[in-house]
Amino acid sequence: MGQIADQLTTDRYALYNGDSMEVMASLPDASVHMSVYSPPFATSAGGLYHYSSSERDLSNASGYDEFFEMYEFFVREIHRLTMPGRITAVHCMDVPTGNSGGDAYIDFPGDIIRLHRKAGFRYVARHCIWKEPLAVRNRTMTKDLTHKTVVDDSTIGGVASCDYLLIMRREGVNPVPVTHPNGFLEYYGAGSPPADVLKYRGWAGSQLENRYSHWIWQQYASGVWDDIRGNLGRWDDRGHDAVLPFQAARDDEDEKHVHPLQLDVIYRAVEMRSNAGERVLTPFMGVGSEVYGAVKLGRFGIGAELKPSYYRQAVKNLASLGDAETVAQGVLL
């Protein structure tokens, strides 16, 4: 474990500043109930999002093919750690080959699915996460995503490409079913349940009658999530916690910082696909969003992050959940 620079383990989470391949190698087979994360977003011309100068950083692959050659090691290790029949959830998007009119996109999600199938996962679902076009344009400065393009020549007009949450299940029989005896108890999203269903929240009778949970399930089971708080223009009166703080984690090595994964996406995935008390892994922790979401929902979060500034911000973000007794420090799980 020579590459682990820092680590913090409490009774609710374990955070590591180091190479996630080394962290995962220290964990036993089938010891993780779920994983949820965003891999570095690759492009075809070697234009990956660069986060650090470390040779261990997956974002420093020389191009698309090498990225997937390296990423396969991570996927196979996640497969080893995942209990049979359990879920890995991967957040991604189509990636552009350039930044001007007429440039094409690469089916990054499709290549991720094919890699996971090769490693022993089954592709079971894809949630399409809506993004507001003008906000995407203002954030990315994509040249073909403007109204002017429509005025001048709409054949080269761009679109605000959606994010995707890919759901893959490790082959085998799940030994511990993920259950919701009283249905869903909380809705994570920008909308509001209708007034006439709110009285069914926490309904302990027949779940056939639990209209509150049925309404939430209809939102979560949809192939399109257009109600994610903080997703480039979608905010509500609870929007202050839509994403975790990340600005302080930036440093001089950053070329770009991908917007942290929205907490609503994490909450939904973790709530739907794992039980309270189970272990949720993210091998690309960033500022800690996935670990934070898992811990807030009563799971044990495990996160590894190579970049020190991101790791330090993740420690701060997890500490914001409240005091917790530190039960081990300097010792791997």
What does the pLDDT look like over 190-227, one tens digit per residue? 988 999 999 999 899 999 999 999 999 999 999 999 99
Put residue 287 in one of left, alpha, beta given phi > 0 → left and psi -120 to 50 → alpha. Answer: alpha
**3-state class of 271 per DSSP?**
helix
Asked if 163 and 197 touch (Cβ cutoff 8 Å), the reply is: no
Q: Which two tokens stand for residue 93?
A: 């998007």
Asked if 110 and 90 touch (Cβ cutoff 8 Å), the reply is: no
**CA separation for the pair 264, 242 (Å, rounded):** 7
68 or 143, greater pLDDT: 68
Residue 116 sits at the vertex; the CA angle it makes with 114 and 119, to the nearest 5 degrees, is: 115
pLDDT score at 99:
58
Domain layout of the chain by residue ranges: 6-319
Segment 91-108 shows an average pLDDT of 75
pLDDT score at 288:
95
Helix (H) or strand (E) holding 298: none
Give 266's contacts (C-beta < 8 A, 6+ positions apart). Answer: 36, 289, 290, 292, 293, 294
In sequence order, what E strands does the chain have?
6-9, 13-17, 32-37, 82-93, 95-96, 105-106, 121-129, 163-170, 224-225, 279-282, 300-305
Identify the CATH assignment for 6-319 out of 3.30.70.1400, 3.40.50.150, 3.40.50.2000, 3.30.420.40.
3.40.50.150
pLDDT higher than 70, residue 86: yes
pLDDT higher than 80, residue 143: no
pLDDT higher than 80, residue 141: no
Which of 110, 115, 117, 103 has its CA nearest to residue 155?
Answer: 103
Q: Which two tokens stand for residue 217?
A: 């399930």
pLDDT higher than 90, residue 23: yes
Judge if pTM exceeds 0.85: yes
Give 236's contacts (C-beta < 8 A, 6+ positions apart). Answer: 190, 229
Instruction: Report the interhelical angle of 289-296 vs 308-319 (nearest 10°).
Output: 20
38 or 1, greater pLDDT: 38
Segment 305-330 shows an average pLDDT of 77
Q: In this predicted model, what pLDDT tens digit does every residue of 274-289 receive, in sequence order?
A: 999 999 999 999 999 9
According to DSSP, the β-strands at 300-305 and 279-282 are parallel
Bridge partner residues of 82 (DSSP): 32
